[in-house]
Amino acid sequence: MCGIVGYLGKRAAYPVLVKGLKRLEYRGYDSAGVALLTESGDLKVYKTKGKVADLENYVSDKDVSGCVGIAHTRWATHGEPNSTNAHPHISYSGNLAIIHNGIIENYAVLKKQLQEKGIEFKSNTDTEVIVHLIEYIRTKKNLDLLSSVQLALRTVIGAYAIAILDKNDPDQIIAARKSSPLVVGIGEDEFFLGSDASPIIEYTDKMVYLDDKDIAVIRRNEELEVVDFKNTKIDHDVQKVDLNLAQIEKGGFPHFMLKEIFEQPDCLLDCMRGRINVEGNNITLSAIIDNRKHLINPRRIIIVACGTSWHAGLIGKQLIEDFCQIPVEVEYASEFRYSNPVINNQDVIIAISQSGETADTLAAIELAKKKGAFIYGICNAIGSSIPRATHTGSYIHVGPEIGVASTKAFTGQVTVLTMLALALGKERGTISNDRYTKIISELSLIPEKMKELLKQGEEIKDISRIFTYAHNFLYLGRGYNYPVALEGALKLKEISYIHAEGYPAAEMKHGPIALIDEEMPVVVVATKNVLYEKVISNIQEIKARQARVIAIVSEGDDTVRKLADSVIELPQTEECLEPLLASIPLQMLAYYIAVAKGKDVDQPRNLAKSVTVE
């Protein structure tokens, strides 16, 4: 939520900042702004409602000179999206500019105190409080900028990644983080700042991921210094980040979401590489090898996650219970963090997150850690906060996911959960050798089967055109495909703004059937598995109420074809692996419906890719 970019060096800052904002636009896109220390020694701030492209139009005739600057793309929390509330914000003297990602929880109290001292606020944001507070401390106590920031941050409660410029010191940027991500890129005589590595990677692969309560002091012609609030020096690792530009560009696709849907076969190969050995009939997850004593015999497992990652968790529960016979609970991280869960050191928490930055999931991890649980993370974003907060974990290795609606991360998460469940089941002796061998071999075939499935893109596009009229959709599935129904419904509502609900098919009779009529299309995952006959009865009940049915079926299924209005066939696989295939046509259906309705698929309204606030 909110993207932060900064630059200090020898290049013109503005082009670096704007390009960086475009790479971070997935984090927020309701307004954008930039602050530059120009060649004439001015602090220029330009900001506008709308996207980064609107900012570019707005500044087209303005002075954007200078080699130092900070920039921001916003996802509004406090105050509506407009140019006043857009960042950067300026201190009351006009000397300091700040950008901020996060939420200041005690901003109302601080604002009142500052107003009582005569300081006027221009915006409705929480952010403006920080910059005035820093300025106030600096003037009253006659301190330098770093000391003022250190003192101010001791007063501030909440989450932040901030960067501050001082008009009177054009050779310095101060940046700090707590619970919101911030990365410093180190080039030759130049520094970059980013909410993640994507705005930096074009210029340098040397990066420092700041930890909570780190303050980065970036000064021209000096080494990067990281200190804490008391000015103690903090050792910082400079990491070599392995990311290439092609991964963060559209590569000829009209949208990131479509690119990411089509990338899935390759993503799953990357996810399984070095982990699955079909000939050796073996799965190697280093996290398990290194942590056998915690993972092989836990009392139970609790999966915590949000949104799509929570749906992956529901599949993980079925896999782990099925293969490992360990009881598993799946909790929304946002609920779990405020509950008083009965957890002890025999419990394992699996935290799933694509971004690795979701505030609720991080808080759930901290709570479980305090109670003694062992924490296993399943994340995508390398070096993000969640992998650093967990005891161990496995990356899903599907590459940066930029489309706001999650696609390849979901199948990556399910793949890691499948490998984890298989590996644990084998160690525990709770899965038969035959089943283990069969599933490993089928799992390794999934990328090829996905490729076959993706060839049905044009057919799915045709189907999608029929359904743009709908205001409501119902998605039904059972067993392993129930979470697929939930995920399909979430995809549709996020990007097309059509209301959609996912249900276990048998629950239909307990309420949702009342909604079904010719106006309400129903998507049914009706693959040939143990519950197939029962799902067919559901389809008949739906048809009896004149609704159109889109059925996801196993290859060659003629029975459902006769009943349903539209049919999408899936290659055969093991029942437990069906979600990896069945989710693909549902992603495509949502995508094509949203495109046909003219929606902004990659940046749907009100959403942001990385939910770093509660």
**How is residue 451 written in tokens?**
């490729």
Cis peptide bond prior to 88, omega within 30° of 0: yes
User: Binding string to ligand F6R for residues 355 to 384, with x set by CB under 6 A, is what?
Assistant: x--x--x-----------------------
Nearer to ligand F6R, 69 or 400 (CB): 400
Please say whether the beta carbons of 475 and 500 come within 8 A: yes
Distance CA(279)–CA(281), nearest Å, equals 5
Nearer to ligand F6R, 64 or 367 (CB): 367
Q: Which stretch binds ligand F6R (CB under 6 A): 62-70, 349-357, 515-523, 558-566?
A: 349-357
Size of the site for ligand F6R (CB under 6 A): 14
Q: Which of 405, 524, 550, 568 binds ligand F6R (CB under 6 A)?
A: 405
User: What residues from 475 to 514 belong to the interface with ligand F6R (CB under 6 A)?
Assistant: 490, 494
Biggest alpha carbon–alpha carbon distance for the chain: 81
Q: Name residue, tokens 């005569």.
A: 118
User: What residues from 406 to 435 belong to the interface with ligand F6R (CB under 6 A)?
Assistant: 406
240 catalytic per annotation: no
| Residues in a beta bridge with 412 | none
- Catalytic entry in 2, 67, 306, 324: 2
Q: Does 611 bind ligand F6R (CB under 6 A)?
A: yes
Please say whether the beta carbons of 165 and 205 come within 8 A: no
Q: Which of 64, 306, 350, 423 binds ligand F6R (CB under 6 A)?
A: 306
Q: Which residue is nearest to ligand F6R (CB)?
A: 307
Q: Which of 95, 198, 354, 385 binds ligand F6R (CB under 6 A)?
A: 354
If 0-12 CB within 10 Å is exposed, 13-18 middle and 19+ buried, where does residue 215 land? buried
Nearer to ligand F6R, 145 or 161 (CB): 161
609 catalytic per annotation: yes
Which of 579, 580, 547 is closest to 566 using CA atoms?
A: 547
Nearby residues of 545 by Cβ (< 8 Å), 6 or more positions away = 513, 516, 517
CB of 534 to ligand F6R, least distance (A): 29
Give φ, ψ of 22 to 5 degrees.
-65, -35
Q: Which stretch binds ligand F6R (CB under 6 A): 163-171, 353-361, 550-558, 574-582?
A: 353-361
Q: Which of 148, 309, 554, 573 binds ligand F6R (CB under 6 A)?
A: 309
Q: Which stretch binds ligand F6R (CB under 6 A): 97-105, 351-359, 364-372, 472-480?
A: 351-359
Which of 353, 498, 402 is closest to 195 using CA atoms?
A: 402
Which of 49, 103, 55, 112 is closest to 77 using CA atoms?
A: 103
Residue 158 region by backbone torsions, left for phi larger than 0, else alpha for psi between -120 and 50, else beta: left
Q: Which of 28, 33, 298, 307 binds ligand F6R (CB under 6 A)?
A: 307
User: Binding string to ligand F6R for residues 161 to 200, with x set by CB under 6 A, is what?
Assistant: ----------------------------------------
Q: Is 36 helix (H, G, I), strand (E, B) or coil?
A: strand
Give φ, ψ of 174 to 5 degrees.
-105, 135
Site residues for ligand F6R per CB under 6 A: 306-309, 353-355, 358, 361, 405-406, 490, 494, 611
**Would you please indicate which residues are annotated as catalytic (active-site) residues?**
2, 609
